[in-house]
Amino acid sequence: MLGVFLIVVDAERARSLGERVLGRYGASAAEARLQADLLLEADLRGRRSHGLQRLSVLTARLECGVLVAGAVPRLEWKAGSFLAVDGGDGFGVVAVRAAIEQLVLRAADTGVAAAGIRRGGHIGMLAPHLEEICGKGLVGFIMTTSEALVHPTGGRTALLGTNPIGICVPADPEPFVLDMSTAAISAGEILARGQSGEALPPGRCVDSHGNPTTDPELARAGAISPFGGSKGYGLSLAVELLVALMSATALGTDVVGTLDTDSRATKGDLVIVLDPDAVGQVATVAAISSYLDTIRAAPRAAGIDRILIPGDRMRAERARSLRDGIRYPSALWDSLLALDDNRSAGADD
């Protein structure tokens, strides 16, 4: 596996490249910083599928005009605790962070606040957004839809999104953060493995005939499987319906605009913030933290070094990446440098 990653890049260098490229394609300094930070966080945590490899799609969307730089999200409280957000076809990270800021304030009064987001771009890895919520001592839920990439159980045609779901709960010294797709693998990981010449893990995808495949190219022509069979399918469908209903966005094959470069985004996001203090919670942060430590220290099965809580592995990888650098496939890093160089040359003409 290590032989695949030929280029080791300092985190600040990667961040700087992302900001610079986005700025040259029209993003404001604030947008470029926020989006580059989000992409970098994915790379730091070993989630390359949501990292700088997405830069080429973002810049192509900016150039095409389906992603609008400088768009200001429109926020409207439809009820005492429900916020409707229109992202104006701008950066998804801008829309979701604007929503979170307002939800945190409202939840202090109402105990719970939710937002449905439409006309916003891809919001990337959910964990950094969830950590923004947990950093305020609050509980957060985020659900989002994507293009139809996943087949229903028993089917072979892509009709569902990968439909990630995230949950964060305050704890010490680090919050509990669950960030998971309802698909067996992400589209970004299929792309990343294809770029690296790696096979896919078995059981994650089918080809266009519905046969299991480990070939990234055949998988891209086929469909991703739901994780956990019918249970993952059921959860994916629930997220699809709930997000579409509460954000007034598209369903199934009508969802476009996060992977392509010429369609305005029709996916949706649902963000929910809960304030434990407002409802007089019984379980305290200290009790939750102690319980998580009990799980980590539980008797282990043979061959298992340690028991992890969701979020532990990503935090460990982030610390390693900050210390030792981020490992990129050479082909990917070269393409990012070319994107930077080409735009720089164009700007000078």
Q: Name the residue ranges covered by the structural domains of the chain.
A: 2-64+310-348, 74-183+226-279
Pairing mode of beta strands 165-169, 205-206: unpaired
Q: Which residues are paired to 76 by β-bridges? A: 84
**Assigned token pair, 241:** 């319906």
Give the count of beta carbons closer than 10 Å to the beta carbon of residue 33: 16
Only one residue has tokens 């300092």, namely: 10
pTM assigned to the model: 0.92
Q: Which candidate, 121, 124, 167, 150, places its Cα nearest to that of 264?
A: 121
Here the tokens at position 271 are 């963000």
Query: By C-alpha distance, which of 45, 6, 1, 2 is closest to 179?
Result: 45
Average pLDDT over every residue of 97-118? 97
Question: Could you tell me which CATH number the domain at 2-64+310-348 has?
Answer: 1.10.1530.10
**176 bridge partner residues:** 169
pLDDT at 343: 62
SS3 of 203-240? CCEECCCCCEECCHHHHHHCEECECCCHHHHHHHHHHH
- Burial (CB count within 10 angstroms: exposed 0-12, middle 13-18, buried 19+), residue 156: middle
DSSP 8-state assignment for residue 148: S
Q: Which residues of 83-119 are buried (b: 16+ CB within 10 A; e: fewer)?
A: bbbbbbbbbbbbbbbbbbebbbebbeebbbbbbbbbb
CA distances from 227 to 140, 144, 309 (A): 23, 16, 19
Minimal CA–CA distance to 225: which of 154, 161, 158, 150? 150
Question: What pLDDT band is residue 349 in, cutting at 50, 70 and 90?
Answer: very low
Percentage of the chain surpassing pLDDT 90?
A: 87
Please give the torsion angle defined by the CA atoms of residues 272, 278, 282 and 287, in that order, rounded to the nearest 10 degrees: 70
2-64+310-348 and 74-183+226-279 have identical folds: no
Helix (H) or strand (E) holding 321: helix 312-324
Strands 176-180 and 165-169: antiparallel
Q: What is the pLDDT of residue 2?
A: 41
Q: If you average pLDDT over residues 142-170, what whole number do you get? A: 96
Out of 183-187, 232-236, 262-266, which region has the weakest mean confidence (pLDDT)?
A: 183-187
The mean pLDDT of 153-157, rounded to a whole number, is: 92
Query: Which tens digit of pLDDT belongs to each residue from 316-331?
Result: 999 999 999 999 989 8
Do residues 217 and 229 lie in contact, with contact meaning Cβ atoms separated by under 8 Å? Answer: no
DSSP string, 231-272: HHHHHHHHHHHHHHHHHT---GGG--SSSSSSS-----EEEE
**pLDDT digit string, tens, across residues 199-240:** 999 999 999 999 999 999 999 999 999 999 999 999 999 999
CATH code for 74-183+226-279? 3.30.1370.60
Cα separations in angstroms, 32 against 62, 118, 190: 12, 21, 26
Quick one: average pLDDT of 142-168?
A: 96
Q: What are residue 241's phi and psi, to 5 degrees? A: -70, -45
3-class DSSP state of 168: strand
